[in-house]
Amino acid sequence: MGRVKQMIFMWRRILALSSKPSTDEYLLLLRLTLLGFALLGSIGFAIHMAYILLTTR
C-alpha cells in the first residue's frame, strides 16, 4: 500500500510542476510532430514502393 501512496504523491507533484505551454511553444511542438509523421510516412512509403518494384518482376 505504501507504493501506491508514493506513486500518487509523485503524480501530484508532476501535475503541480507542469504548466500550460504558450502558443508559440505549442505551435513549434505541433510542427515538429507533423514533420516527424511526414518523414516516417515518406520513408515507409519509399520502402513499400521499393518492395513492390522489386517483387513484381
Region 43-55: what's the mean pLDDT? 96
Among 46, 11, 44, 25, which Cα is nearest to 3's?
11
Cα–Cα dist 4/29, whole Å: 33
- pLDDT for 57 equals 72
Residue 48 pLDDT greater than 80, yes or no: yes
The domains of the chain are located at 22-57
Integer CA distances (angstroms), 4 to 1, 7, 9, 56, in order: 5, 5, 9, 56
pLDDT in tens, 1-40: 789 999 999 999 999 999 999 999 999 999 999 999 999 9
